[in-house]
Structure 1
């Protein structure tokens, strides 16, 4: 509804001739923009004519000032109420990352945080049915926003909610909201297959979250920026598609990792390009797409990984002409075969038609037992069967290890297994922390120096804290 402001003006002059609007019906503005007659006259002076003035009596001396009310009628703000007038929900850092994912279209066709019917489909079927029977799209992770009892009460019957960042600034508006119960145990059990304590994302984002979920259409006020010196790496799906077109790609193969790139990873990526060329593609482009959202505490931080990745390209381990390095803004769940479907699905929206998957994708060790949380082979098997991912070509890769005879990373040969050394991410981090160099050929020198410098800085900080 239009907002009306009353201005009281005290006039001592005779009342001027009346103004009559004569605009035709075809020239009238839409009904919701149509103001009162006086306001329309002020807005469209070219459509007015003066009526003949009527004879008026002379004003008497000592006449009291005449009080006239002039109405200023304003049209509604775009999209409804101003954000300042809406109930507010404060987002945690991980919620901002999901808002970023949604705003840029990584989770298309989602238009915002899931409403209940979308949440239930994701949680129980790992996919969402498109309207009008147009099929299903894969959506294996619930993308939801939790709120507490107090926030639910404050929102009340309001259809829209303003979303604030951790600093209090309004980042977005959630439209036509729906609030429904947050059964944490069910969500955790169905996403991870366990409710064992110590799951990193559960501890970070679910355990202390509210008992309600709020869904709705998301309208981001401005593009989300982190101002960490890495925003130029955060290309949206549309920006990536434009870059692939610019480079004349006839195939795009995506590789996600949350660790530094060693020469075994590079072997997999370079061998994939070789295979695509043999298949007849002329210009396959690699999307090296490290995960940039929440990761567990012992993972190498994103800024260090991005610096290490740049050294890999500088040292020629990967070809800069056929490689695009970009940050994938999603948080990490460590939910194994369930999560790897999300990782693959998001890359479809960026234009990738091939996805490299290896041993135990998105997996981790069991939080309370000495074993893998998931079967290491199930990730690639699930990807090859997952509904909604049929148009994405899954490329399982062979296991790469350090060949102690050839002095380089190579594909594992079971016939001479004793010649191969497996260097896990944990072992790699242990080398860097202790200052011990890995075998020659494990990682390019420039990339290794980035890791050693990082762990040296950690040790310096820890020593400084210990002396305080």
Structure 2
């Protein structure tokens, strides 16, 4: 491990080993863990020093201190737990004092980890302390309870190979490389701007004003690891950033990409972002309104106050080694024909703004995006990758009890969409998928979840490429359905249809006698009998087929698709 002192940001802890070729040969006899996307982001930033002073995944003592007090065991300020979550089965063979090999999904050896700690966390306590909520509407809470492994491992890392990126290679600076680039350019004061969204005129005005205020050069430092489900993909965003950069005065600004897995943790996340930018050599950090907020909870309330992040960074400004630059929201004042901070708007002035939701609606419906909001080249970039809904791929996901009528509706919808034409249509019926894609799976909860996730993956690929995927599994568990939605919504449309036919009607229709066998105890774990069906809380459509003819039911589905814009309305 190298430790260097730089005038740009202080000590860096880089965790790459020496003589890595010899080390690689030691991996074959070790337990191997395949890193998830989020874990791979964390490992990359640990190895390059972006998470300095961490030297690996946190020990239990460090984890406890961070969860409770935002401090490592030695008292160092650090607001976000960085832990390796693994399955119980893997943890059983990963004893403290043992080495494990960490590999990417393609099998490339990324690092060794010396396991120092192994524990089962209190996830509810972690969610309350770190995120302020256990609500699954928070993406990090959903990940914690529904995706993360049951056991945490802590320990020092020795890096072997940095994760490979084939995109935008010239824009991917490590902390050391970025510090050296600042020095080469003669930049001694650098203000960083964190973003996970495309930059529009308000963002440019905000960053320009911030740089002027603190007399610093500007680093646009967007996250290209994991952001909030449904965000614009990073390929599109980076092209937009490149357009935006051309609007700044020459030699005053630069763009670099950050492979961070965001937690959307509001104030704590903002503090974390600031420390990371200190490690990259920045001297100032812009803190905006609602910084790193996931939006509203399941009751429609904001998870965090709009300026909570400002207050937390102000409380720790003397300790974090980087100067926070707080900014209020920027709004367009029609009378002045310019953007100003919202607190500078005078009485009687006309304020204009377009929310992210409204922008998505305009893209979805092909409505004009005004020049006062964004630049034409950015609008064109967004339209290129986010066409109107009637030209997008989409998935219709039928879910309901066995015998509810899912397959009938799915087949009818397939025929209707093929009749009208315009997109390729693929049916992913539960029984069909079981035969051709999941024949080796049983009917345990684990296998049913895996089967549904496989359906979701195939549907996401169909949707991404402009087709229509029609899915009709039982899909009894809400968490798995949410995971499928999160796979698909970033690449196209997702329409969940709850076929809410009552259980007694489903039993009457039972052609295969499955309900009778389940009632007799001949089939175990049968949905609706001795295994629960978790009804969707807020599906796009709910249909009870017990009182409707199939033609009537499918008309409801078609009308919903038309209302949502996936089926183009007739001209004239």
Q: TM-score, normalised by structure 2?
A: 0.63
Of residues 274, 290, 293, the one that matches 1:363 is 293
Q: CA deviation at 1:340?
A: 0.8
Q: Does the 8 Å CA contact 1:408/1:440 hold for their aligned counterparts?
A: no
Counterpart-to-counterpart distance in 1, 2:76 and 2:97: 31
SS at 1:310 equivalent: helix
Tell me the alpha carbon deviations over residues 203-242 of structure 1, each in whole angstroms, 9 at most, x when there is no partner: 3455232221111111221121232x12332211111101
- The corresponding residue for 1:350 is 280
- Shift, 1:430, TM fit: 2.1
RMSD, matched Cα:
2.3
Q: Name the CA shift for 1:454/1:350 in 2 (closer, same or farther; >3 Å).
A: same
Kept after mapping to 2: 8 A contact 1:402/1:408:
yes
Question: How much has 1:306 moved relative to structure 2?
Answer: 0.1
Larger Rg: 1 or 2? 1
Using the TM superposition, name which of 407-416 and 263-272 deviates more: 407-416
* Distance of 2:24 and 2:40 partners within structure 1: 23
Please give the alpha-carbon distance, in whole angstroms, between the structure 2 residues aligned to 1:144 and 1:261: 32
3-state SS of 1:426 partner: helix
Give the 3-state SS of the residue equivalent to 1:179 in structure 2.
strand
2:219 to 258, 283, 287: 287
Give per-residue Cα distances to partners, 1:31-70, cap 9 Å, x unaligned.
xxxxxxxxxxxxxxxxxxxxxxxxxxxxxxxxxxxxxxxx
Partner SS, residue 174 of structure 1: strand
Q: 3-state SS of the aligned residue for 1:201?
A: helix
Q: List per-residue Cα deviations over 1:254-288 (Å, max 9, x = no partner).
A: 110111111111111111222233xxxxxx22110
Residue 189 of structure 1 and its aligned partner are, at CA, apart by: 1.4
Task: Check conservation: 1:161, 1:177, Cα contact below 8 A.
Answer: no
Whether the aligned pair in 2 keeps the contact of 1:137 and 1:389 (CA below 8 Å) is no
Question: Among residues 375, 380, 385, which one is paired with 2:305 in the alignment?
Answer: 375
2:243 is paired with a residue whose SS is helix
Q: Distance in 2 between matches of 1:383 and 1:122?
A: 16
Residue 300 in 1 paired to residue 232 in 2? yes
Query: What residue is the counterpart of 1:394 in the other structure?
Result: 324
Q: Report the counterpart of residue 104 of structure 1 in structure 2.
A: 48
Residues in 2 aligned to 1:388 and 1:408: alpha-carbon distance in whole angstroms: 34
Deviation of the 1:388 alpha carbon? 6.8
SS in 2 for 1:94: helix
C-alpha contact 1:292 1:330 (8 A) present in aligned 2: yes
Output the CA distance in 2 between the equivalents of 1:350 and 1:258: 18
SS at match of 2:117: strand
**Is the contact between residue 115 and residue 215 of structure 1 (CA under 8 Å) also seen in structure 2?**
yes
In structure 1, distance between residues paired with 2:77 and 2:290: 20
Contact 2:67/2:80 (<8 A) preserved: yes
Q: Retained in 2: the 8 A contact 1:148–1:211? A: yes
Deviation at 1:176, TM superposition (A): 4.2
The Cα shift of 1:406 comes to 3.2
8 Å Cα contact 2:95/2:115 also seen in 1: no
In structure 1, the partner of 2:375 is: 444
Tell me if 1:212 matches 2:214.
no
Contact 1:433/1:452, CA 8 A, preserved across alignment:
no
Measure how far apart 1:139 and its partner are: 1.2
Deviates more, 1:394-403 or 1:263-272: 394-403
Q: Is 1:224 the counterpart of 2:163 in the alignment?
A: yes
Q: Which residue of 2 aligns with 1:133?
A: none
Relative contact order, higher structure (CA 8 A, sep 6+): 1
The corresponding residue for 2:361 is 430
Which residue of the partner structure matches residue 258 of structure 1?
196
* Conserved 8 A contact 1:407-1:440: no
Q: Is contact 1:127-1:388 (8 Å) kept?
A: no
Residues 83-114 of structure 1, C-alpha deviations (whole Å, 9 max, x = no match): 11111112111110110111111111101111
| Secondary structure in structure 1 of the residue aligned to 2:468 | helix
TM-score by length of 1: 0.76
Matched, 1:319 2:258: no
What is the rounded CA distance, in whole Å, between the counterparts of 1:320 and 1:126 in structure 2?
40
Give the stretch that moved more between structures: 86-95 or 172-181.
172-181
Q: Once the two structures are superposed, what CA deviation does each residue of 1:292-327 show, in whole Å capped at 9, x if it has no partner? A: 12122221111110000111123x2x2341112111
Q: Secondary structure at the match of 2:119?
A: strand
Question: Where does structure 2 lack aligned partners over 5 or more consecutive residues?
Answer: 1-20, 395-422, 424-465, 471-572
Kept in 2, the 8 Å contact 1:138–1:341? The answer is: no
Aligned to 2:467: 465
